Amino acid sequence: MEAIKRTKIVDVLKSKAFGTTVNVKGWVRTRRGSKQVNFIALNDGSTIHNVQIVVDVDTWGEEFLKPITTGACINVNGTLVESQGQGQDAEIQAKEIQIYGTADPATYPLQKKGHSFEFLREIAHLRPRTNTFGAIFRIRHHMAIAIHTFFHDRGFFYFHTPVITASDCEGAGQMFQVTTMNLYDLKKDEKGSIDYTNDFFGKQASLTVSGQLEGELAAMALGAIYTFGPTFRAENSNTPRHLAEFWMVEPEVAFNEIAENMQLAEDFIKYCIQWALNNCLDDIRFLNNMIDKELIERLNFVLKQDFIRLSYTEGIKILEEAVANGHTFEFPLFWGADLASEHERYLVENHFKCPVILTDYPKEIKSFYMKQNDDGKTVRAMDVLFPKIGEIIGGSQREEDYDKLSAHAKEMGVPTKDIWWYLDTRRFGTAPHAGFGLGFERLLLFVTGMTNIRDVIPFPRTPNNCEF
Ligand code: ATP
Ligand code: MN
């Protein structure tokens, strides 16, 4: 074959250089046609759109063309011509074809369209080759770039917090332990407790559930930082919104108080959504047509809304009124209860029909580090609640007072000896500060219209699921 520099299909489709010879490489979506002429729809992942390769059957013969089936990978030189068909500008009249790899139709799983998402999860190694997952993973990339751009443009520093940690501050029992000990021969002390002194770190260690505590240390030096990395929760919650391994974005800002924190969260989410519409419209249009007919409408709707700011106490009142008017919830509802997703979604979808930032939660149901309000009952927490998702962001203003922080930690049974370094920030040059955590995959659920979080991360980790 003549060596010609490859052009990505996304560029081929935009090209007006009709008559020139181009090279494309990609995976066959379909081959159809007649005895005289075949049409190959070729996709190389650079765009949701395929380029059409027009093949004169006589030139190659049926035998050569036979293995060019769905899933096969080919290399094509051909003349770029203006397309006769509707909906595409350019197509390629094949001059040379090389088959890189075949995909036997008898065993290649992605034959027909309309496979269920459940089935596609079982072939997660191949599902990026479908239109839907190609679109989702391109959008995922663009959202990551949006996040970095948003913070970078605002003078935040990308700060890397550790994945392995020895402090368990967000509640025990949810963490994955990290050990090099021989599990077949565990040494225990007289009381039957495991002796970690000979373990790799000389103490019990786990995968992080949040980079926040270390993020706060950085904010107290660099002013404004964000983390963006993998996060692990061993909670056995088999829901469409929880993963055992997910990615979290956590900005932390010195001198910000709760109101500025809320504004940052609102601006940030809107920026990401606008970025998606600006940079991923082809993919979003595809998802809008195939998955969720209201997707684009919903994205534009959220951009236009000022998010409602509401206290937990007012939220409970609205929910109790709903119950009085005949609405039923599965989970208990009273002042002091942790809100379930059904409660959050009622506020957002039924009552306000708009994203809601709920603030000032009872201190018992929130983390020890949240700033205590003067009422003695609530803390300056803020959860951003979204249509179809529920909680997308959880954040707070942090308690900057050393005495209040340590007292509250004790009250909540937090082992403060492991986080002496965290408490130190309140001893040396403490300052008001605030931050939040956005679940990256929850944002992706919203932007793609997908309904199961397993479908917006390439290789989901959930209870009993660690294939690929
Ligand atoms: P939820 O109540 O939905 O379980 P959470 O309150 O435990 O979430 P936070 O500790 O506030 O979560 O974490 C911050 C954000 O991280 C959440 O708002 C959510 O977007 C995301 N998140 C939390 N847990 C998970 C998970 N298991 N899988 C995916 N995203 C998660
Ligand atoms: Mn939360």
DSSP letters, 262-324, are HHHHHHHHHHHHHHHHHH-HHHHHHHHHHT-TTHHHHHHHHHHPPPEEEEHHHHHHHHHHHHH
Question: In this structure, which residue's CA is closest to atom 4 in ligand 1?
Answer: 242
pLDDT at 179 over 90: yes
Give me ligand 1 centre to Cα 365, in Å. 14
Tell me: the pLDDT tens digits for 39-81? Answer: 999 999 999 999 999 999 999 999 999 999 999 999 999 999 9
51-55, 213-217, 246-250, 408-412, range with the lowest pLDDT: 408-412
In a domain, 88, yes or no: yes
**Which atom of ligand 1 is closest in space to residue 395's alpha carbon?**
11
Which CATH number fits the domain that encloses residue 356?
Answer: 3.30.930.10
**Can you give the pLDDT at residue 189?**
85
Once rounded to an integer, what is the mean pLDDT over residues 398-416?
Answer: 93
Residues 147 and 76 in one domain: no
Cβ of residue 246 lying under 6 Å from some atom of ligand 1: yes
pLDDT at 417 over 90: no
Residues 134 and 88 in one domain: no
pLDDT at 237 over 90: no
Tell me: the pLDDT tens digits for 343-377? Answer: 999 999 999 999 999 999 999 999 999 999 999 99
Torsions phi, psi of 269, nearest 5? -65, -40
Residues 265 and 307 in one domain: yes
**Can you give the pLDDT at residue 87?**
65
Cβ of residue 343 lying under 6 Å from some atom of ligand 1: no
Once rounded to an integer, what is the mean pLDDT over residues 312-329?
Answer: 97
**Can you give the pLDDT at residue 453?**
98
Residues 380 and 318 in one domain: yes
pLDDT at 298 over 90: yes
pLDDT at 256 over 90: yes
Cβ partners under 8 Å of residue 118, min gap 6: none
Tell me: the pLDDT tens digits for 25-34? Answer: 999 999 999 9
In a domain, 203, yes or no: no
**Can you give the pLDDT at residue 169?**
62
Ligand 1, from 209, 370, 391: best to mutate by most atoms within 8 Å of Cβ?
391
Last residue in a domain, options 101, 135, 155: 101
> Cα separation of 65 and 68, whole Å?
5
Tell me: the pLDDT tens digits for 142-160? Answer: 999 999 999 999 999 999 9
Once rounded to an integer, what is the mean pLDDT over residues 211-227?
Answer: 97
Cβ partners under 8 Å of residue 149, min gap 6: 275
**Can you give the pLDDT at residue 112?**
72
Cβ of residue 345 lying under 6 Å from some atom of ligand 1: no
Residues 307 and 406 in one domain: yes
Tell me: the pLDDT tens digits for 433-447? Answer: 999 999 999 999 999
DSSP 339: P
Percent of the chain with pLDDT over 90: 91
Are 28 and 51 in contact, with CB atoms under 8 Å apart?
no
Whose CA is closest to 224, among 258, 261, 259? Answer: 261
**Can you give the pLDDT at residue 170?**
56
Which CATH number fits the domain that encloses residue 32?
Answer: 2.40.50.140
* Structural domains of the chain, count: 2
Percent of the chain with pLDDT over 70: 98
pLDDT at 172 over 50: no
Residues 36 and 139 in one domain: no
